Amino acid sequence: MNAAHTSEVLRKGLARVLDLWRDRAGGANDPLHGVLRLLLADAGGDRAAPIADEARASEVARAHAAIRGYFDNVRYALLDPLTMVWGTVTNALRVAAGVDNVTEAQRLAFTFSTESLAAFVRAAHLDGHNADALWQTFKPMPAADCQMLAALFNPHLDARVDSATVLSLVRVLGNEGPLSTAEEQALATLRTSGLISAAFTGIRGQG
């Protein structure tokens, strides 16, 4: 898969998730949904539809500005504009899961409710074909964040998954090195739920 095709799959895939979240799962009222809409519009050079509720629009605008400020760095200048959008998803997941190497700057910019993040994952699974396309795109990428996303989009992941399961996957896959006590607990949650294979087989030699 070449870079242009990958970018198109990721752009259309995220747009589809946001549409499903809005139309079938109440996403229009969720701040994370609003922020991702604005960032996706930024990446495409478009304008997002305005949010009618003034208080929610203001909340989304503040979060959007904080995230843009976080990514306003020369190191990101040459990256695909979608990097910022998917980076928001992964950073929000890592902050919510309490991954060890999360920075204070990331906590300030990417704090969203755990239920919002679970709702995003559930929306992704409302279209199995789209979830599979995202899974196929992320799973060859070796970066930990990409492996984390691949696990969350795995088409065998239960679409009814709750926030505890989402955060357990992120907690286990978002760190490196030996499993900590917290990660052992997260791994136990995945084993109990039967979703350990949604992460990967033989997880750090303990699968």
Mind spelling out the 3-state secondary structure of 18-79? HHHHHHHHCHHHCHHHHHHHHHHHHHHCCCCCCCCCHHHHHHHHHHHHHHHHHHCCHHHCCC
> Residues near 107 by Cβ (< 8 Å), separated by ≥ 6?
95
Rounded alpha-carbon distances, angstroms, from residue 161 to 53, 104, 172: 29, 28, 16
- For position 144, what pLDDT does the model report? 84
In order along its 207 residues, the chain shows pLDDT tens digits of: 677 889 999 999 999 999 999 999 999 999 999 999 999 999 887 777 777 778 888 999 999 999 999 998 766 666 788 989 999 999 999 999 998 889 999 999 999 999 999 999 999 999 999 999 999 999 899 888 888 899 899 888 765 678 988 888 888 776 654 455 555 555 555 555 545 555 444 334 343
pLDDT tens string 119-166:
999 999 999 999 999 999 998 998 888 888 998 998 887 656 789 888
Cα–Cα distance for residue pair 43/153, rounded to 1 Å: 22
At 206 the pLDDT is 40
- Tell me how far apart the alpha carbons of residues 111 and 133 are, in angstroms, rounded to a whole number: 27
Residues 111, 32: contact at Cβ < 8 Å? no
pLDDT of residue 147: 86
What is the count of structural domains for the chain? 1
Domain that holds residue 185: 3-205
Distance from C-alpha of 3 to C-alpha of 31, rounded to nearest angstrom? 30
pTM: predicted TM-score of the whole model, two decimal places: 0.83
Given this model, what pLDDT does residue 77 score? Answer: 65
What letter represents residue 49's amino acid?
Answer: A
